[in-house]
Amino acid sequence: MKTLIVGSRDSALAVAQAMTVVRALQEKLPHTEVRLLTMKTTGDRILDRTLDQVGGKGLFVKELDAALRDRRADLTVHSLKDVPMEVPEDLPLLGFSRREDPRDVLVLRSGADAPEAEQPIGSASLRRSLQLKKLFPGFEVKPVRGNLQTRLRKLDEGQYGALVLAAAGLKRLGLESRISRYFSPEEMIPAAGQGILAIQGRAGEEHPWLEELTDPDATAAALCERAFARTLGGGCTSPVCAYARPEGDRIHLTGLYWEESSGRWTTGEDWDERSRAEALGFRLAERLRNESFREGNI
């Protein structure tokens, strides 16, 4: 029997996500043994510093890239928001899953109905921290690292008064009941690709069955959002973020541009045909950058 190895990070969330792909492949390929290979990445090991201090989100994929190159894995599964904007030519992204809820959410300790002003709000990214300061002026926002369960434990132990997390991760682990408030994409623009799973493999290898696992709406959104972030140098340590919403033959994009030299930021939105998703991402990114410099509005 042929064997197909799917690689994943070894966190509970990463495994739960990868298993959705494994189960789908087992159904599509009844004569193939589909197995999961898990590993701890550099990003999982270094928890005492924020991602921007240790090299960015690429630390979550490099061990998995190595597993593909030395053929210990045939495919790998990632949260798309953790995949660097520049993907190696020999390891292309092959498909994108149906999008889970892309929103960010507020998580409080049991019994609380609002963040506690005396305690910091935990945020794992500069993107969230920037937008939180507008939503909760006067509150301290403090970095929080670790897997989802570790962050929740730190909250419940009283190290934080609230956390901001991705709705997708909580829902995939059956922890939706921990959600106290959903932030609309207008209140807090999600990370590019948030809620989408990416399947990565080796260039030149054919996987015709992957087409059935790929969602057209998620694909259009992924291409649009990543084009925006890539144009502005986002994706690793930058808070540049974007959210695309396909509607029929059209697609709507909201994006955030951050100027590193001043630390100021601005947002904007635009529409285009779905077939021009990547062009839309590029165009809005260039427009925000040019307008900001011309008008001095950030």
Average pLDDT, the chain: 90
- Coil/strand/helix, residue 121: strand
User: Is 82 assigned a catalytic role?
Assistant: yes
CATH number of 215-298: 3.30.160.40
- The residues that bridge with 33 in the sheet, in sequence order, are 3
**C-alpha dihedral over 148, 154, 156, 162, to 10 degrees?**
-80
Fold type of domain 104-182: D-Maltodextrin-Binding Protein; domain 2 (3.40.190)
In angstroms, the CA 195 to CA 81 distance is 8
- What is the mean pLDDT of the segment spanning 137-147? 92
pLDDT in tens, 153-193: 999 999 999 999 999 999 999 999 999 999 999 999 999 99
Taking a C-beta distance cutoff of 8 angstroms, is the pair 125, 191 a contact?
yes
Give the pLDDT confidence score for residue 294 in this predicted structure: 55
Assess whether pLDDT exceeds 70 at residue 214. Answer: yes
Name the nearest CA neighbour of 105 among 155, 171, 50, 150.
171
pLDDT in tens, 13-57: 999 999 999 999 999 999 999 999 999 766 455 444 444 544 445
Tell which wins on pLDDT, 22 or 116: 22
In angstroms, the CA 247 to CA 131 distance is 26
Amino acid (one-letter) located at 20: T
Amino acid (one-letter) located at 135: L
Give the pLDDT confidence score for residue 48 in this predicted structure: 45
pLDDT in tens, 241-269: 999 999 999 999 999 998 877 888 899 99
pLDDT in tens, 57-83: 565 688 999 999 999 999 999 999 999
> Of these residues, 44, 65, 82, 270, which one is catalytic?
82
Using pLDDT thresholds of 50, 70 and 90, give the confidence band for residue 116: confident
In angstroms, the CA 145 to CA 162 distance is 14
What residues contact 137, with CB distance under 8 A and at least 6 apart? none
Which CB contacts under 8 angstroms, 24+ apart, belong to 70-74? 72/5, 72/7, 72/37, 73/5, 73/6, 73/7, 73/37, 74/4, 74/5, 74/6, 74/201, 74/202, 74/205
* Percent of the chain scoring above 70 in pLDDT: 90
Assess whether pLDDT exceeds 60 at residue 229. Answer: yes
Using pLDDT thresholds of 50, 70 and 90, give the confidence band for residue 275: very high
User: Start-end ranges of CATH 3.40.190.10 in the chain?
Assistant: 1-97+196-213, 104-182
- The residues that bridge with 181 in the sheet, in sequence order, are 106
Give the pLDDT confidence score for residue 53 in this predicted structure: 41
CATH number of 1-97+196-213: 3.40.190.10
User: Start-end ranges of CATH 3.30.160.40 in the chain?
Assistant: 215-298
